[in-house]
Structure 1
Amino acid sequence: MSNMGQSFQAGKAQAQGECQAERAAQCVRDGAGATACAVTDTAGAAADSAQLQEHRAAGTVQQAAEQVAQTAAGAAAAVKDTVAGAAAAVKDTVAGAAAGANDAVTGGH
C-alpha cells in the first residue's frame, strides 16, 4: 500500500507540475500578446504623431511661402511707386529746364 500511495502522490505531483507549467505557458502567451498589443499601439501612435507633424510642417511651409509672396508683392509695389515718382520728378525737372531755356532765349516773354 505504501507503494500505491507513493504512486498516487507521484501522479498527483506530476499533474500539479503539468498544470503549473500550462499556467506559466499561458501567462507567457498572454504576456506576449499584451506586449504585441502594446507595441502595435505604440507604433500606431508614433505613426499618427509623425503624420500630424508632417501636416504641421506643410502648413508652416505654406504660411512662409505666402508671407514671402506678400513681401515680394509689397516690394514690387514700392519699386513701382519709386520709379513713377522719379519719372515725374525728372519730367518736372526737364520741363522746368526747358522753360528756363525758353525764357533765356526769348528774354522772358
Structure 2
Amino acid sequence: MSGDPSVLYIKAILDAFTAAIFAITLGIMVAFIAIPQTLVQLTLFFLAMLVLPLTTPDMRADFSALGGLMMLMTGFRIMGIKSFPVANMLPGLLLVMPVSHFWAVYIAH
C-alpha cells in the first residue's frame, strides 16, 4: 500500500522459510497451496490501490500492528512455544481498519 516494495521482499523471504517448515511437517501438499495463495495475494495487491486513498496513517499503522502480532503468534506456534489459533484471527484483518477509523472519529477526538 505504501509503494515501497522492500516490505514485500522481506515478507516473501519469511514466507519461503515458513513454507519450508510447513513442507517438512505437512509434506508435498504445501506446494499446492501456492496457487490459491498467489491468487489471494494478487487480489490484495490490486485492491490496495483502491483502499489506500480511503485510509489514514493511523489505520495503516493499526493494520501493520495486527499483522506483526499475527506473525509473532505464528512464530510461537511453529516453534512449539504456544499454540495460538491464528486462523481465528484472520477476520481481524478485515475489521481492524473500520474499528480504527471508528475509534479515531468517535472516541479519541
TM-score normalized by the length of structure 1: 0.23
Larger radius of gyration: 1
Bigger helix fraction: 1
Higher relative contact order (CA 8 A, sep 6+): 2
